[in-house]
Amino acid sequence: EVQLVESGGGLVKPGGSLRLSCVASGFTFNSYWMSWVRQAPGKRLEWVASIRQDGSDKNYVDSVKGRFSISRDNAKSSLFLQMNSLRAEDTALYYCARGPSSGNSLGYWGQGALVTVSS
């Protein structure tokens, strides 16, 4: 069974940093692109970033470029999102997802980690 478990969310002040982690199980982690997707309260889902299997290619939504960094540790089946210079508008539930794969879909999602940016 595919499982994705996020951790590292919490309350942080504007300008602060946070690192999200996602541990994967039930599939060969190093065979898949991996992504982060977020959902702010009352808003639609927003794709944040994706990383290739070997970490050699990374893509970001413009609103986080230069502030967020996606990375992975294939030996530990783990995905990370380093978030710096956080803003109130980064407040959201952050999902770890497997993909993009077929049709650039996101085949499996975790339960999410809540990030709240507030003074």
Partner 1 sequence: DIQMTQAPSTLSASVGDRVTITCRASQSIGTYLNWYQQKPGRAPKLLISGASRLQSGVPLSFSGSGSGTDFILTISSLQPEDFATYFCQQGDRTPYTFGQGTKVEIK
Positions that interact with partner 1 (CB under 8 A): 4, 44-47, 50, 59, 61-62, 95, 100, 102-112
20-64-61 Cα angle (round to 5):
105
4 vs 12, beta carbon nearer partner 1: 4
State which residue, 16 or 69, has the beta carbon closest to partner 1: 69
Residue 97 CB, nearest approach to partner 1 (Å): 8
Minimum Å gap between C-beta 109 and partner 1 is 4
Q: How far is the CB of 103 from partner 1 (least distance, A)?
A: 4
For residue 89, the 8-state DSSP code is G
> CB under 8 Å to 56, separation ≥6 — which residues?
none
- Residue closer to partner 1 (CB basis): 8 or 16: 8
Give the Cα separation of 37 and 94 in Å (integer): 6
Tokens describing residue 81: 């999102």
